[in-house]
Structure 1
Amino acid sequence: MLKIFVSLLLSSSVFGETIDKLHPLSIEFIDAINRQQNMWKAGKNFDENTPMSEIKKLTGSLKSNIKLPIKHHKTDSDIPDTFFAYDQWPQCENVIRTIRDQASCSSSWAVAAASAMSDRRCIKSNGELTVLVSSEDLLECCSNCGQGCDGGYPYMAWLYWQTDGIVTGGIYNTTDGCKSYSMWPCERYTHDDLRPPCNDYNFTTPTCNRQCDSPDKVYANELTYGDGSPYNLTTVEDIQRDIMQHGSVEATIKVYEDFLSYQLGVYSYTMGDLVGEQSIRIVGWGVEDDLPYWRAANSWNYNWGLYGYVKILRGTNEVGIESEVIAGLPKI
């Protein structure tokens, strides 16, 4: 019933909008989004002059034909209406609430994976292991993961964690791990002029360097590992139960042009062309105005969306969010 309602609500023919010629970053496009639905609010996130080639770098997940083992949770325990990992495990709140910035690099596949790994590692250690898993090391050194800054495969990232290990390391310009993210945040938003424009840079995949940033740390000693094979979660309940037991998971969504302007509310695709596929980290779920949603951390810094987060309609596989969910367990 919900899916039928949403479909009718978002049908452009109902409102008679003509949107074919609107620029996807323009005020006119944003106004059209807001006229066509009332589930979420679109707003000016990007300067209209931002090249779409730069926008496409904000995605980065590639499709794989590899079939993962599917994990089911055989339990009758209740699932709450609302659950957020940072509330459930306050000793790991700073880890879970970290919003990364993939910069001008299509590395969401690595950033979302390393973020979820970091959450799970902290949770399993009961808050003892708070240093993040390095998205930089994963991006640099996993040669089977895809094309680095031109996109990669989320499954291979988790498999690499199991087989080769990934060192510790945080966001750009941090020093509390082995290898921090080397690509600095750049300016892509209309309300932040403190950083240089992203299109001033042409970031390429960094060369694999099996050394820590500081000579005081030894690469081999900083390696973290996954425990056992990664797996898929294919039902809403299995995704929820896995998050309740182990923490955040990695999901891949289809990014359409309207998603770029998301600011608040429960997102559901309204209008615009497909931009690419993006990996995000689901940290929990809730209900807003009778609409069930997933709460997910994006990797476009805190400037975008709800301070880096997005709420996506839950239970209808909106933009594919429930069809490609991957996770694994940490070795402690």
Structure 2
Amino acid sequence: MTLIPPSARQYNSAASKQAWCSTNSIKMLILIALAVITSAEKLLTADELISQPVPKEAQLLTGEALVNYVNSRQTLWKAEYVPGAEAYFKRRIMDSKFLERLPGAEVIQSIASDEEPPESFDARDHWKNCSSIISYIRDQSACGSCWAVASASAMSDRICIQLNGKIKVQITKKTT
């Protein structure tokens, strides 16, 4: 009697070949059915997606619920929920409605004043001792830190004004 390894034995019998072909045929039919089903679904273009009205209940969604809604409505890209991202971007918007309110802190909506603002105001004329500092405009071209340049300029102006022009210093990254 000849010993045939099990792997070779299964391909030697006609029954196993027929079972193998039958299994592959079923797999192929399932694959074809899935292809037909997915091709029948009309994919939206970006313009079609944007032009669709957003239901009221969807407009109220936030966080993971919003991500799940977006992913269920389109196939162009996949949204992902990132914990902490919402708080990060709210802080960067710099809108006071996103500030964390301290317990007991009063929010002043407006400041009442009997004085009318002047028709025009020029800080160089008002603080003549500091006109050379106030009127200096820094070159901010190709600078991604305009916020820092503006802050340094305001500090320079405030120092000069506070000291009545006795100290005139240009605050820059070199002086900080």
More helix by share: 2
Structure-1-length-normalised TM-score? 0.21
More strand by share: 1
Bigger RCO (CA 8 Å, 6+ sep): 1
Larger radius of gyration: 2
